[in-house]
Amino acid sequence: MWLMSKIKQVLLVLKPGVVTLKYPFEPRPAPKDFRGAPAWDHTKCVGCGGCADHCPARTIMVRDICQDIRVLLYDGSRCMYCGRCADVCPEDAIAMTEQFELATNDREDITQNLELFMLTCRRCGRCYDMEITNLIDRLDLKGFRYDSLQARTVLRRTSEQFEPRILRDTESFKRPQKLGE
Amino acid sequence: MLAKLSKKFFPKSLWVYHCNSGACNGCDIEILNVLTPYYDVERFGIRLVGSPRHADVMLLSGSVTRPTLPLVRRAHAAIPAPKIVFGIGSCAVGGGCWFDTYNVTGGGAQAVPVDFYVPGCPPRPEAIIYGVALALGLVDKKAAPVELKQVEFPIDAYERSKAWEDRNVIYQLLKD
């Protein structure tokens, strides 16, 4: 009786065979519509900053280092891969790739730096309709922006004209320390 | 260097202690998924153990919240000396979307030294296996920082727009 049950078990196991995937030694592509790391297309991007406004984890930071050059930094370490940036981009400059093998020993490896050449719009400045109905929030984050790329912080500081003074002040921004750290 | 060290110190197997520091259980389910027959990680000698004192590796999931911070530090201190910490998921890597909330310390790196980061929300089981294989030196690192630049000559375009402005009379009229 005992032997019979063991033979039954062996037969049961033989039926499906080996199911273990040989993953790291042979590639295993992601399923369809999988959202992996976002990829910027620098030829299409117009630098409206809509992705930065919509990112729930605030992974995208915008800093205007002079009148004509805007730097966008994507810090992938806290990205949730929600695809909101690709959704909201008016020029389809962001695409979600199928890249998921992002494990590193250095957090700097999953950052993307995009340097844009900008011209100031004479009619409206650097504007982007943010789909935000809150009027106070609508007033924010228009024009030239000064997020801290070193501290990886979104600073709610904008100016209509480019001001080197704010750029200088925000350069050495330090995130306030919290209790228990 | 860490790959060499791990080859030297863990020649046969890594015993893994899973530490949840306030995760939403998404990453925890993926970690358990890694142990199932489909992604059988006992191929690499990886076993899940219940106590940090038996473990070589700490799988940290969740952005370390303020109540769990001392507990995470104690669990990390209880692991015997050559130890590796894996940050699993966006929360443990960089704090997730709670990175600057008042009750969150902002990622596993703020609490304990994290050696390997596995981003993803949650990471696929393959991504976790890839991270472990990277630590063991079985695969090459694929992620690299990306720098993109729009190729245009700024000063030239600036001067062109200035010249266009000077030619156009309407701007002169607007000034008056």
Q: Is the reported ipTM for this assembly greater than 0.95?
A: no
Q: What residues contact B117, with CB distance under 8 A and at least 6 apart?
A: A77, A103, A104, A105, A106, A107, A110, B86, B87, B92, B93, B131
Q: Is A160 on the interface with B (CB under 8 A)?
A: no
| pLDDT at site B103 | 87
End-to-end CA distance of chain A: 63
Q: What residues contact A136, with CB distance under 8 A and at least 6 apart?
A: none
**pLDDT (tens digit per residue) in A154-167:** 888 888 778 889 98
The one-letter code for the residue type at B54 is H
Q: Give the global pTM.
A: 0.81
| pLDDT at site A17 | 83
Three-state DSSP at A20 gives coil
> DSSP assignment of chain B, as one string?
-HHHHHHHH-SS--EEEEEESS--SHHHHHHHHHTSGGG-GGGGT-EEES-GGG-SEEEEES--BTTTHHHHHHHHHHS-SS-EEEEEHHHHHH-GGGTT-TTB-SSGGGTS---EEE--SSPPHHHHHHHHHHHHTSS------EEEE----HHHHHHHHHHHHHH-HHHHHHH-
Report the pLDDT averaged over residues A104-129.
76
| pLDDT at site B7 | 67
Q: Please name the residue of chain A whose CA is at the shortest distance from the CA of residue B41.
A: A20
Three-state DSSP at A70 gives strand
Q: Which residue has the higher pLDDT, A177 or B111?
A: B111
**With 70 as the cut, is the pLDDT of residue B171 above it?**
no
Residues of A in contact with B116 (CB under 8 A): 103-105
**With 70 as the cut, is the pLDDT of residue A36 above it?**
yes
Please state, as a whole number, how many other Cβ atoms lie within 10 Å of the Cβ of residue A128: 18
Which of B33, B90, B153 should be substituted to probe chain A, the one whose Cβ sees the most A Cβ atoms within 10 Å?
B90
CB contact under 8 A, B149 and A178: no
**With 60 as the cut, is the pLDDT of residue A153 above it?**
yes
CB contact under 8 A, B110 and A68: no
CB contact under 8 A, A117 and B152: yes
Residues of A in contact with B120 (CB under 8 A): 81, 100, 102
CB contact under 8 A, A111 and B150: no
Residues of A in contact with B154 (CB under 8 A): 68-69, 117
Q: Place B112 in a pLDDT band, splitting at 50, 70 and 90.
A: very high
Q: Which residue has the higher pLDDT, A134 or B30?
A: B30
**With 90 as the cut, is the pLDDT of residue B73 above it?**
yes
**pLDDT (tens digit per residue) in A57-95:** 889 999 988 877 889 999 988 899 999 999 988 888 999
Q: Which residue has the higher pLDDT, A135 or A180?
A: A135
Report the pLDDT averaged over residues A124-135.
58
Alpha-carbon distance of A138 to A160, in angstroms, equals 14
**With 90 as the cut, is the pLDDT of residue B107 above it?**
no
Three-state DSSP at A148 gives strand
Report the pLDDT averaged over residues B49-63.
91
CB contact under 8 A, A103 and B110: no
Token couple for B138: 């079985």
**With 80 as the cut, is the pLDDT of residue B153 above it?**
no
| pLDDT at site A65 | 86
- Chains A, B: CB contacts within 8 A come to 154
Over pLDDT 90: what percentage of chain A?
Answer: 20
| pLDDT at site B90 | 92
Residues of B in contact with A68 (CB under 8 A): 154, 158
Shortest alpha-carbon distance between residue B172 and chain A (Å): 15
Q: Place B138 in a pLDDT band, splitting at 50, 70 and 90.
A: confident
**Who among B38, B100, B110 is closest to A21 (CB)?**
B38
Token couple for B112: 């304990």
| pLDDT at site A69 | 84
Report the pLDDT averaged over residues A28-36.
89
Q: Place B61 in a pLDDT band, splitting at 50, 70 and 90.
A: very high
